[in-house]
Structure 1
Amino acid sequence: MNIIFVCTGNTCRSPMAEALFKSIAETEGLDVSVRSAGVFASPNGKASPHAVEALFEKRIALNHVSSPLTEEHMEAADLVLAMTHQHKQVIVSQFERYRDKVFTLKEYVTGSRGDIIDPFGGTIEIYKETRDELEALLQQLAEQLKNDGK
């Protein structure tokens, strides 16, 4: 299964989700390919230093270069997980024919609406809160995928 996580600039939430889920998937033995992109990302940007630090605390390396979301990403993905409802709306408006594989992370995992808080410009504590929220949801995602046999 090919999963892509999407946020705004692809420097905080989606790269953290990508790195966290790669780690979780490896631990759980899931056969997945994981990427991230941003709806308004500049190509080749660096991950936020606080995002790197928040993951380093969990012994997860974040070697990341930002990428704008492209048609190729959408074509290759089996599942597109946006960090917010607004991201989902932007993705669906830009890539209408892929709408059936676009969800917010919370929507896909919990069945409820809700956004992942944006830590951009915040303190390291805010980044750690976002990391922990992502980690809990991504652990649930891994369980769902295991139960679905994917």
Structure 2
Amino acid sequence: MDVKHYDKLIFVSESDTITSPMAEAILSRHFLLEDILILSKGLVVLFPEPINPKAEAVLVAQGLTMKDHMSDPLDEADFDDRTLVLTITGAEKERLLRDFANPINVFSLSEYIRAEGEVHDPYGGTLGDYGQCFRELNAQIERLAGILQQEELN
């Protein structure tokens, strides 16, 4: 199997205000062997919006922050050989594959790390729901960080 090495990783969610910026914050705290640019983008971003306040509160409680984050739309120019695009859910992956002309290196997060189950979007839920989302993302991103580090070593 040919191991890919990526210069950039983009987490993609629907609006880029909850799950994808949380994923970016979680992965950004991991020490990766090679420098890899970690970003988050959204499938439906009509105008820049800050991170959801409950998502930010959960991140702050974990010693992280995305307070300066503004949602950013995914664009055709984001796809190239050196960029890994990970959607938070399978439904978001399906929408991305339908809406973009030449998407490459696109996987759902659970698909890429070979995990069962997906992270649930807590939009509209309680602070506890956002905390649960963080725990689900954190568990999947721990696996992702290990996989990325292993790929760099090969």
Q: For 1:46-101, what per-residue CA distance to the aligned partner results, in whole angstroms no more than 9, with x for missing partners?
A: 110001000001111112100111112224862110011111011111224224x1
Where does residue 40 of structure 1 map in the other structure? 44
Q: Matches of residues 14-29 of structure 1 in structure 2 within 5 Å?
A: 14-24=20-30, 27-29=31-33
Distance 1:73 1:38, change over 3 A: same
Where does residue 151 of structure 2 map in the other structure? 148
Where does residue 2 of structure 1 map in the other structure? 8
Where does residue 127 of structure 1 map in the other structure? 130
One-letter code of the match for 1:36? S
Distance 1:79 1:60 in 2: 23
Residue from 53, 56, 72 that aligns with 2:57: 53
How many residue pairs align between the two structures? 146
Where does residue 94 of structure 1 map in the other structure? 99
Distance 1:124 1:134 in 2: 15
Instruction: List 4+ stretches of structure 1 deviating above 4 A.
Output: none
Q: Is 2:140 the partner of 1:137? A: yes
Q: Give me the identity figure in percent.
A: 31
Distance 1:76 1:10 in 2: 23
Unaligned runs of 5+ residues in structure 2 are 1-6
Distance 1:72 1:127 in 2: 31
Deviation at residue 124 of structure 1 after TM alignment:
0.7
Give yes or no for contact 2:76–2:101 (8 Å, CA) kept in 1.
Answer: no
Unaligned runs of 5+ residues in structure 1 are none
CA RMSD of aligned residues (A): 1.7
Where does residue 81 of structure 1 map in the other structure? 86
Structure 1 SS opposite 2:85 = strand
Structure 1 SS opposite 2:86 = strand
Q: For 1:7-28, what per-residue CA distance to the aligned partner results, in whole angstroms no more than 9, with x for missing partners?
A: 111100001001111112xx34
Deviation at residue 2 of structure 1 after TM alignment:
0.5
Tell me the TM-score normalised to structure 2 length: 0.87
